[in-house]
Structure 1
Amino acid sequence: MTQKKMLMLIVVLLIGAAYLFGLVPIENKTVSNGNADHTIVFPSDRYPQTAKHIKEAIASGKSAICTIDRNGADENRQESLKGIPTKKGFDRDEWPMAMCAEGGTGAHIQYITPSDNRGAGSWISNQLEDFPDGTKVEILVK
């Protein structure tokens, strides 16, 4: 095998491994419901508690679409967590997220360990950071 072919094979394997291990986000512009600008696939293997919560919230009728509204996040968080007591050793996870126009009053709340919740929040923030407010993103949990 020539050096050029060997180098190409290594590059292909590295790219494949990056996708396999979730180091590269998978975005699918073909959206299942037609109401979103983008779709991201949430890594349930990395954040299982948050993934379970998202699935349960969507199954109960909450939106899988997040219309990004960063300016409304503080007010949405205050509204969604109103009357939900804190619990030692847990975070109160919200779905839809506070940074979504769909969040706020009536959000589905679940207690989740801080490492899972904060890791998931960081992952989602990184996926959405380049999208402007008003962008509709469908969150799929696989």
Structure 2
Amino acid sequence: MQTDSVALTIVVPNERYPETAAHIKSAEEHGKSNICTIDRKSAEENRKESLKGVPIKKGFDRDEFPMAMCAEGGKGADIMYVTPEDNRGAGSWISNQLEKYSDGTKVKIVVK
């Protein structure tokens, strides 16, 4: 994917959300793209598809990457068990970074 089509880059802070950051890095190492095309209207369906067949584990959330709110999310997303505090904190942080951008906006997600 060409980076000139990316509207912005957001940095997920490793020290603040270490489990989610580790998952993003791992998913990228396994071939998942760090480009997210915002697609909020498909998030619920993407989440259903990505989590299908992944059992609930007490005390953990099932974190998806690419995220459900990305057109690239859904079936085939990388799933990792992450503590709820880390997962939900990171999800809220990312949502706040992207709230003013419309569906179709391409975002590069990096971990530092």
The one-letter code matched in structure 2 to 1:47 is Y
Q: CA shift at 1:33, angstroms?
A: 3.1
Given the two structures, how large is their TM-score scaled by the length of structure 1? Answer: 0.76
| Equivalent residue number for residue 75 of structure 1 | 45
Instruction: Name the CA distance, whole Å, in 2 between partners of 1:78 and 1:57.
Output: 19
- Greater radius of gyration (CA): 1
Give 3-state SS (helix, strand or coil) of 1:34's partner.
helix
Instruction: Name the CA distance, whole Å, in 2 between partners of 1:141 and 1:64.
Output: 10
Would you say 1:34 and 2:4 are equivalent positions?
yes
The one-letter code matched in structure 2 to 1:75 is E
Flag the 1:140–1:133 CA change in 2: closer, same or farther, 3 A.
Answer: same
Instruction: Name the CA distance, whole Å, in 2 between partners of 1:72 and 1:63.
Output: 18
Would you say 1:95 and 2:97 are equivalent positions?
no
RMSD (CA atoms): 1.0
Give 3-state SS (helix, strand or coil) of 2:95's partner.
helix
Q: CA shift at 1:37, angstroms?
A: 1.0
- Tell me the matched-pair count: 111
Larger RCO: Structure 1 or Structure 2 (Cα < 8 Å, ≥ 6 residues apart)?
2
Instruction: Name the CA distance, whole Å, in 2 between partners of 1:54 and 1:34.
Output: 22
Instruction: Name the CA distance, whole Å, in 2 between partners of 1:55 and 1:38.
Output: 19
Instruction: Name the CA distance, whole Å, in 2 between partners of 1:104 and 1:94.
Output: 8
Would you say 1:52 and 2:22 are equivalent positions?
yes
User: What stretches of structure 1 of length at least 5 have no aligned partner?
Assistant: 1-31
User: What stretches of structure 2 of length at least 5 have no aligned partner?
Assistant: none
The one-letter code matched in structure 2 to 1:34 is D
Would you say 1:64 and 2:34 are equivalent positions?
yes
Given the two structures, how large is their TM-score scaled by the length of structure 2? Answer: 0.96
Structure 1 outlier segments of 4+, above 3 Å: none
